Amino acid sequence: MIEIKSLFLSCRKCLFFCLFFSTSLLAQQRLSSDSLFVEYLLEKKYYNDVLNWTQHRQVFPYYRGLAFYNQLKIDSAIRYFEQLPISHPNYVKAQFLEGFGHTFLKNYRKANQIFSELSPPDSLLSALQSFQLAGIALLERDTLKFVSYQRKFNGKYFAFSQEEEKLVDNYRLIQQHRRKSPLLAGLMSAVVPGSGKIYAGKTGQGLITFIQNLALGLQTYEAYRRDGWKSPRFLVYGGLFTFFYIGNIWGSTLTVHVRKQEFKDKVNEQIMFNMQIPIRTVFNQ
Amino acid sequence: MSKLCLICRFLSVLCLISNQSKSQSLQIADSLIKKYEYALAAVYYEKALFDQNQQLDVFSPDAFRLKANQLLYQKIKCQKALRIFEDAWQTAQRFDLNEPNDTLQFKLRYEGALCGYLSQRYNEAYGQIQQARFYINDTTLTIALDVLEILTLNELERWEESKTLFRRYAARNQLSIQVDDLYSFIKKKPKNPNKAQLMSFLMPGLGQIYAGYTKEGLVSAGLQALALGFGVYHVLNRYYMIGFFTGAGLFQTFYFGGARRASIMAEETNRKRKARNSQKIRALLVENEQKKER
């Protein structure tokens, strides 16, 4: 009787053991099938489907992050990449994407912090880390820092050897760019209307401004010469001429700022592009 | 002993669940449709497709194709409900059209053409309709394409073909409509934007009147006359600078601007006419189809 009871007990233990393992195995199988499905959706670029599918599954922050990243919803992507634990198999990739996301959002300090604190597992990713840090330094116009990172460029990695050269070209472009004075542009336009705009680099606009002011000036002079300074005709044309003349001076100083911003935006866009290509190549993203 | 039985039953249920999990996606998707949760339902249909692709050895090629097409069809239904027609069109491109059954093949081809029309890919929709007519010999089926073809032809402004087809459709459905009257607008030539511009160059405001905007034409002509009058008056009074720069300057602005605007207005008139005529025919077709359904 005792033997039967012990046999029954050992059977029960065995079944408990099976139950425990089969449950966890099933859960694992389910998770792996779901992961495969999400990867399939990402490969097919069904990003909305990825987001719908993972909406109530908190175990997929990485995939949600990727879907948002590909939809250029960088804020949301960063929020999900931040949730990844260090042990996650795609942690390093997520860190690179998060860092670039912050760069995209012009949050250079945070991007710098992420890339600096990253410990890449191999030499390729280490070189990519230096490359990204160099890009951020250039975006911040911190040339000293850029030069220090640039020393680590070796052109050894096919994935971004060209981009290294292009980043150095961007650096040279920034160094060679002549800064123009808004004050000088305003003064030039006060002397010869439109000349400040030509100095700022907008030749067409400068010529049009000159013709506009010349025409209004001539009409004002004609009204003054024929009717005197008290006449309504002179007052109307004089008012118009003053308005356009002051506008021309103010516009010239503004044009210098606009051109400066245009140049900055153009170079930043090139730098960002050069920073993004290696990430896409290395991580197939 | 009862505990042992319970554990055994639980384990067997787990095994069953493992086997059934593949078909679960489909059931969940169907239940989500009933709850109008189309976005999630569409993903579950995709999941069912994915699961099916993982089990290639389980299905025969025919069963596989039938099932895959059915799942895609359901997914399109969700996408249409969400009004994401471009996605629906992309999904329709994934149909396996090697379907020997004419009825099923027609259902898939019709869906493809419909998605093309809804996603405003009118040329592609027309191509799909023609392919359906070519590959499916059963005219009792292809007759259902007439409405879609008329609508597509209207969008492509192929009015004559649309009229012929409508005449056939009206005869078949015994509609008491004078097709010639319905399509009488074909006789009206569309407004030529270049002609409108040229007319405004020759006589200010005339291009706008030709395009159907009489008031705007008169305002444009009036403004140009005023500017010219201002200039002439000042030149005659020996205010040459003012006459030239203000009078002539304003006149040339109104003159060239008016001509450009006349061309835009001619295009606008054509667009409005097309929309009005298409809508008139569409309303008739929809009304008749709804009557038939009742």
Which residues of A lie closer than 8 Å to B, measured between beta carbons?
Answer: 8, 11-12, 15-16, 18-19, 22-23, 26, 29-30, 33, 36-37, 40-41, 46, 48-49, 52-53, 55, 215-216, 218-219, 221-223, 226, 233, 237
* Rounded mean pLDDT, B96-110: 93
pLDDT of B228-277, one tens digit each? 999 999 999 999 999 999 999 999 999 999 999 999 999 999 999 999 99
Residue B10 has pLDDT above 90, yes or no: no
The answer, yes or no, to whether residue B13 has pLDDT greater than 70, is: no
pLDDT of residue A106: 94
- Spatial distance between the Cα atoms of B218 and B208, rounded to a whole number of angstroms: 8
Tokens 């419909």 locate to: B114
Whether B15 has a pLDDT exceeding 60, the answer reads no
- Decide if the complex's ipTM is over 0.85: no
In this predicted structure, the answer to whether residue A2 has a pLDDT above a threshold of 90 is: no
Cβ partners under 8 Å of residue B125, min gap 6: B113, B114, B115, B116, B117, B148, B152
pLDDT in tens, A152-196: 888 888 888 899 999 999 999 999 988 899 999 999 999 999 999
Break chain A down into helix, strand, coil percent, rounded to 5. 80, 0, 20
Report the pLDDT value the prediction gives residue A21, as an integer from 0 to 100: 46
Per-residue pLDDT, A25: 47
pLDDT of residue A4: 60
Per-residue pLDDT averaged across A22-49, rounded?
Answer: 75
Average pLDDT, chain B: 89
The whole-number average pLDDT for the span B166-178 is 89
**Cα dihedral sign, A145-A110-A122-A65:** negative
Q: Which two tokens stand for residue B144?
A: 């259902």
pLDDT value, residue A112? 94
| CB neighbour list of residue A66: distance below 8 Å, 6 or more residues apart | A42, A50, A77, A97, A285
DSSP secondary structure letter of residue A180? -
Residue A38 CB contacts under 8 Å (≥ 6 apart), including other chains: A50, A53, A54, A60, A63
Q: What is the pLDDT of residue A56?
A: 77
* Closest chain B residue to A237, measured at CA: B242
Q: Is the pLDDT of residue A138 over 70?
A: yes
H helices present in B119-247, as ranges = 122-135, 139-142, 145-155, 159-172, 179-182, 193-202, 206-211, 214-236, 240-242
d(CA A70, CA A68): 5
Q: For residues B108, B111, B115 and B118, what is the CA-based torsion angle, rounded to 10 degrees?
A: 170
Q: Which residues of A touch B43 (CB under 8 A)?
A: 41, 49, 52-53
Is B191 a residue whose pLDDT tops 70? yes
Q: Give B14's contacts in chain A (Cβ within 8 Å).
A: 22-23, 26
The answer to whether A233 touches A227, Cβ cutoff 8 Å, is: yes
Q: How large is the average pLDDT for residues A266-279? A: 94
- What is the sign of the dihedral through the CA atoms of B195, B196, B201 and B206? positive
Report residue B16's pLDDT band, with 50, 70 and 90 as the boundaries. very low
Are A52 and B43 inside 8 Å of each other by CB?
A: yes
Residue of B18, B39, B242 lying closest to A52 (CB–CB): B39
**pLDDT tens digits, one per residue of A230-270:** 899 999 999 999 999 999 999 999 999 999 999 999 999 99
Instruction: Specify the pLDDT at position B59.
Output: 81
Neighbours of B228 (CB within 10 A): 17
Give the CA dihedral B187, B191, B192, B194, nearest 10 degrees: 160
The rounded percent of chain A whose pLDDT value lies above 70 is: 88
Q: CA angle, A66 as apex, A64 and A67 as ends, to 5°? A: 65
What is the total residue count of chain B?
294
Say whether pTM exceeds 0.80.
Answer: no
